[in-house]
Structure 1
């Protein structure tokens, strides 16, 4: 239970940090100049893309919320048999965290006009993302080799569904990341790729949060956490 509580504390901290970055309580109409932590739309020249990303993240969040809800409803049936979670998922989680950190590093560098560090951060983020995807495929192979086939049990099907769905979104982000690397390599100034880096960092951090929730779901920690909270209330 201690591990579960620590995990959810980290998850809450990640969510709180991301929300703080969005400055939801800020009053920009009362402030002057470029606000710290708020994108400079004059520099980006394309605030519409930021709005588009917001809608995309909302749709992705709704999609995974529905899948998680279906998971809980289906797991109440008697034919649900939880499958063993491959230990490599821990390493994969670490790779995704490092990938997000690398993108945050690129974002920090682009705001300081350091193009070299922007490139280093983007390449590191892409490499860790590739490691994550390869690790997920290895987890699939381990389960398949052990006889946990997609159609073998509803729990098996949902495992492949949620990890595959998340993996597809990571692959989509990786394609955009490779494009950003190509642009950064031909750019002469960091501001040229500022928008791509900032949008990429936001998307990656959101997908990291989604994976952390899925990771807790796959390990059965969400049910334990809910039971713990209920015991505190009763």
Structure 2
């Protein structure tokens, strides 16, 4: 239970920090502004897409928290047989981290108005994400050939469930990533800075979503690799 609460606290802290960066806590009615006749223009409101992504991350985070809770409770039963984790999961984890780093560099390039940097970063992130999904499929195949997905082994069923749900979230992110990549590739070189600047919001949203998926996967990976077993046993002792 403590593990689940810690996971929720981390997600809530991540969402709160991100919302504060978007200016959600600002109080414009308390600000002393310059009269309108002096030529001052009020700042534009924050894009609703940011708030929409924040709401989606809260819902997705709750879903993964429930999955982690069910996983922890189920692994304490007598019929649970731990799975040997395929080595390819280490490589796929590194690929997802690489994809997240690539999108972070893309955000920097978008803020600088560097079209080449945006294109290369988006392509690197997309290729790394596809390679991550390919690694997950290879892990599924290895475990299936070894017979660990039998109906009598709940560990195999949970492995398939958590990796499949995370993979579906990755596929949804890839759709958004493909759209912003297509927009970036359609902009001719030497275009006005406004055309490049229009990509910034989409790039930043993709990067935030990718960082979230990386955080969730690291939590799932630690559970699958049984690194948190001792912590889980301590939490059970505290609860009981």
TM above 0.5, yes or no, is: yes
1:190 pairs with one of 176, 188, 196: 196
Asked if 2 retains the 8 angstrom alpha-carbon contact of 1:150 and 1:160, the reply is no
For the structure 1 residues 16 and 120, does the alpha-carbon distance in structure 2 shift closer, same or farther, using more than 3 Å as the test? farther
Task: Tell me which residue corresponds to 1:103.
Answer: 103
Deviations along 1:176-225, whole A, 9 cap, x unmatched? 11111001111343212111101000000000000000000101112223
5+ residue gaps, structure 2 = 1-8, 33-42
- Which structure is larger by alpha-carbon Rg, 1 or 2? 2
Residue 49 of structure 1: aligned partner:
49
Pair 22,77 (structure 1): closer, same or farther in 2 beyond 3 Å: same
Matching of residue 142 in structure 1 with residue 148 in structure 2: no
- Residue pair 2:140, 2:160 contacting (<8 A) in 1 also: yes
Other structure's SS at 2:228 match: helix
CA distance in 2, matches of 1:70, 1:134: 26
- What is the CA–CA distance in structure 2 between the aligned matches of 1:88 and 1:140, rounded to whole Å? 10
Equivalent residues of 2:80, 2:155 under 8 A apart: yes
Give the equivalent residue in structure 2 for 1:204: 210
Q: Across the two proteins, how many residue pairs are aligned to each other?
A: 210
Range with greater deviation from structure 2 (148-157 or 104-113): 148-157
Separation in 2 of the partners of 1:62 and 1:208?
16
Residue aligning to 1:83: 83
Output aligned runs, 1:210-225, within 5 Å: 210-225=216-231
Change (3 A) 1:99 1:135: same
Q: Which has the higher helix share?
A: 1
The answer on whether the counterparts of 1:15 and 1:209 sit within 8 Å (CA) in structure 2 is no
Residue 78 of structure 1 aligns to a residue whose secondary structure is: coil
Deviates more, 1:148-157 or 1:48-57: 148-157
Q: State the Cα distance separating 1:148 from its structure 2 match.
A: 1.2
CA-CA distance at 1:112 after TM superposition: 0.6
Distance 1:22 1:97 in 2: 23
Q: What is the alpha-carbon distance in structure 2 between the residues aligned to residue 230 and residue 62 of structure 1?
A: 21
Distance 1:18 1:90 in 2: 27
For residue 74 of structure 1, report the CA deviation from its aligned partner. 1.2
Question: Structure 2 CA distance, aligned partners of 1:185 and 1:28?
Answer: 36
Query: Residues 32-66 of structure 1, C-alpha deviation per residue, up to 9 Å, x if partnerless?
Result: 9xxxxxxxx84xx7611111101100010000101
Unaligned runs of 5+ in 1: 1-11, 33-40
Aligned to 1:6: none
What aligned pairs does 1:2-17 form with structure 2 within 5 A after superposition? Answer: none
Q: Provide, for residues 147-191 of structure 1, a one-character-per-residue CA deviation record: whole Å limited to 9, x for no partner.
A: 112524111100000011101100110111111100111134321
With over 3 angstroms needed to count, the CA separation of the structure-2 counterparts of 1:20 and 1:53, relative to structure 1, is closer
TM-score when normalising by structure 1: 0.80
Give me the TM-score of the superposition, normalised by structure 2.
Answer: 0.78
Distance (whole Å) between structure 1 residues aligned to residue 62 and residue 101 of structure 2: 25
Partner residue of 2:93? 93
Residues 130 and 194 (structure 1), Cα distance of their counterparts in 2 relative to 1, 3 Å cut: same
